[in-house]
Structure formats: C-alpha cells, structure tokens
Amino acid sequence: MYIRQTSLFSFKEIIKFQQQSRLELILANIDVSKLANELRKPSNSKGPKGYEPEVFIYSLIAMQVEKIDTIKDLVVKLKENPVLRYCCGFDVLGKVPSESTFSRFLEKLSNSESLEQIFHDLVIKAKELDIIDGEHISIDSTKLDSFEAAKPKKNIVHDGTNPNWGMKKDTNGNNIRWFGWKLHILCDSKSELPLDLLISPASNYDGTMALPLIKQFFENYKDTFKPKYYAMDSAYDLDYVYKTIINEYQGIPIIAYNPRGSYAPPEGLDEAFNPICSGGYKLVYWGKDGNYLKFRCPHALGRCDCPHGMNWCSSSNYGYTLKVNYKENPRYYGYPLRYTDVWKKQYDKRTSVERCFSRLKCYLNLDNVRSKGIKKVKVHAILNCIALISGTIAINTMKSLSKAA
C-alpha cells in the first residue's frame, strides 16, 4: 500500500505561482523579528549602519525557494531582478549587499539558535491549523554532499563535526558512496512535513541517531506532541530503540526487521514472526492482556489437525497457551503483531519521510550545499525546511479561505 495525502495541499501547489506571489506567500508566514533583533548591530556601534538583518534572512530563504546555486549568484539575481529585491525587502532602486557581506551574515547566523526556533514556531503553527497531526511520525536520513573536497579516510578527524565517507542503499538495493553529511529528519506522516532534524557526518549509522533525534524533538516541543506510532526502516532495527520508544515515550515502534545475515527466522517464530508450537504449527493470536500477548494451540481451535493432538503440549482441555510480555522483547513480539494488516498499514506511512526529502530536493535547494562546516550545513537544511513548511501553510490557508468565501 502506498499512502498518499489527499486532504492537504502540498508545497508543490505553491511552486506553480509566479515568483513574486510565491515568495510573498512564503515569507509572509515567517516571523524573523526575534532573530533580526539578535543579529542587529547595537545602536551605539560605530561604522556604517548597513542593511537590516531581515533582508538577509529573507534573501537566504528566497535562495532556497528559487534554487539559486551560490551566494554569488544570489547577489547577481538581486541586482538584476527588482521583483526579487522587492520580495526580500530591499529598496527596488537601491543597492544590495556584496557576496562577502552575505558570507559574514551567514557566519553570524550559524552561531544563533533563533533560526531553529523560527522552524519550530512554524511547525506549531501548522499543527494549530490542523495541517500537522503528529500522531504518526517517520524517521529516516538522506545524503548531503560536502562542499569541502573529499579526503582519504586516514586524513579525516572523527570528532563529529567534519564530513566523511558514507554509504547507503538506493531503492534498487545498490550501494551509494559519498563524502559529506547525513540529514536525519523526524517527519509528520499526515502532512509529510519535517518536525525536527539533526545533521551528522555521513558515516554515522542511522540506527544510532533515532533516539537522539526523538529526545531533541520532545525537548523542543515539550507537551505539544505525543506521537503514537514511530515508523522506521530496517536500519533502525535495534533492540534498545524499540524498548526506549515503548517504555520512555509510551509509543509503538513500527520498524522493519533486519536479519543481519541470518538465514532463518528467530527460534520459535516463522518467517512472518508468528509464534509456532513444538509441532511446527502457527499459534493463534488470542488477544492482548495488559503487557501480555496471548497465543493458543491451533489444534484446540480447529485451525489444524495435529497428529499429536492437544495432549502433546498440554494436559489442559483449553490447549497449549503461550503468553509473552511484548515489552521485554518488542523486536520479536511487537504490538500490533509484525506483518499483520494493521502493522503493514502503519509501516506503509513511513514513505512520508521519503516524500519530504523529495520535496526538499526537487522543489527546494537542499541538495545544493555550498557552505563548509556542520553549523552552516544545518542552517542550510533549516532554511529549506522553513520554506517548505511556510509554503505549505500558505497554500492551505489560501485554499481554506477561498472555500469559505
């Protein structure tokens, strides 16, 4: 099953607008006042007054929306295009900052946490508008190539802040190697919008980043969200990930099983992770009682004709019964049961994070990292996420108003 969002309008709709109206709609939803005040020069500082921080912020967001490759190209387009200048807050007939001025501002921006707060505020606004639900979330990563020249592994400093070599499998199972970073996103499955993100060197294993990302998500939003389902692919199939989601966050992990080279299912289970009896027959699921999952003898229920009968496993007329505390071994005995229709329905929603990445790369500028250092790479990712969420808010608000009119 391939889940498609039908009740919401996606960012793709706003891309059809003309440049001026598109940028105006996106920038109108972004409150940069707090960040601008933080980055504004003190009133008693010496030297030329310069440009207001707002115009730099809007220009950097416009750079992502218009898929402008470099700061140098941004400056050229601002000079040549009065519509772009107007949308970003510059005087239509006035001057624009130089490339070096933009670079200095980007350096200041990378040392501020207020840009991230703008991102979180937009997420909360989208939730208040019922665009974001937050009950079902998906987690995955995508590759980002480094702007820095590739280095041999032996010359890389592994301190968590430098790009390095990574490898992932594409949709066809082929290995892809690159030098750079990974963007880890926690995504809302309803809206297919990012809720939180982390940047790591490319070599970081996806599974180890799930819990830091979830922890950061709850710290950033406090009691705003309480997800029920956490969908992830087999890279996150780690026992401690299941247990932490269940016991600490009271959620339900929906994670694909990773056999890790084994040629048979775990002992006592068949290929679909159904418990089997000593005769090799599939036990029948008989409900959940608190933390316990109950399974009964299929012969006692008339589901099979075991040559040994019921007495082979139990002397009870009820037949053999297996009770499993799923919280003690959630990787094998999850709830809902792995590979049932209910489980598959929730797992299919995991593709929402893949479409989130697709929009960030196809309609925006995520795949075009042009800055060095993990802080600036994070700024680049957040700017793209801000544009994606703001544009989605704008198009849904506009459509709602037109329906109400």
| 357-370 per-position pLDDT tens digit | 999 999 999 999 99
Query: Would you give the DSSP letter of residue 334?
Result: -
Q: Return the pLDDT at 405.
A: 66
Listed by start position, the domains of the chain span: 12-112+399-404, 115-259+347-375, 264-333
Q: What pLDDT does 6 receive? A: 43
- Lowest pLDDT segment from 13-17, 99-103, 141-145, 187-191: 13-17
Other residues' Cβ atoms within 10 Å of the Cβ of residue 29:
17
Instruction: Write the class of the CATH domain 115-259+347-375.
Output: alpha beta
- pLDDT tens per residue, range 298-357: 999 989 998 888 888 888 888 899 999 999 999 999 899 988 999 999 999 999 999 999
Crossing angle for the helix pair 53-65 and 19-28, nearest 10 degrees? 120
- Is residue 263 very low, low, confident or very high in pLDDT (cuts 50, 70, 90)? confident
Question: What is the 8-class DSSP label of residue 124?
Answer: H
Residues 6 or more apart whose CB falls under 8 angstroms from that of 37 comprise none
CA distance 64 to 115: 15
Alpha-carbon distance 30 to 11, whole Å? 15
Q: Give the model's pLDDT for residue 400.
A: 81
Average pLDDT over residues 207-215: 97
- Give CA–CA dist 336/241, Å, rounded: 17
Query: What pLDDT score was predicted for residue 261?
Result: 79
Is the CA virtual torsion 73, 75, 78, 80 positive or negative? negative
Contact 345, 22 (CB under 8 A): no
| Tens of pLDDT, residues 384-401 | 999 999 999 999 998 888
Query: How do 193-201 and 175-188 pair as beta strands?
Result: antiparallel
Q: Where are the alpha helices (DSSP H) in 283-332?
A: none
Residue 19's SS3 state is helix
| Percentage of the residues of the chain whose pLDDT score is greater than 70 | 96
| Count of residues in the chain | 405
pLDDT digits (tens, 9 = 90+) for 70-96: 999 999 999 999 989 999 999 888 899
Mean of pLDDT values over 64-69: 95
Residue 52: its pLDDT value, please?
93
Residue 1 has a pLDDT of: 38
Burial state string for 317-345 with b = 16 or more CB within 10 A and e = fewer than 16:
eebbebebebbeebbbbbbbbbbbeebee
User: Rounded to the nearest 10 degrees, how much is the dihedral formed by the CA atoms of 41, 47, 48, 51?
Assistant: -20
Model confidence, pTM? 0.91
Q: How would you classify the pairing of strands 193-201 and 164-169?
A: unpaired
Please give the Cα distance from 386 to 138 (Å, whole number): 19
Q: What is the band of 2 on the pLDDT scale with cuts at 50, 70, 90?
A: very low
CA 353 to chain centre: 6
Phi-psi domain of 260 (left: phi exceeds 0; alpha: psi -120 through 50; beta: other): left
pLDDT in tens, 228-256: 999 999 999 999 999 999 999 999 999 99
Mean pLDDT of the chain: 91
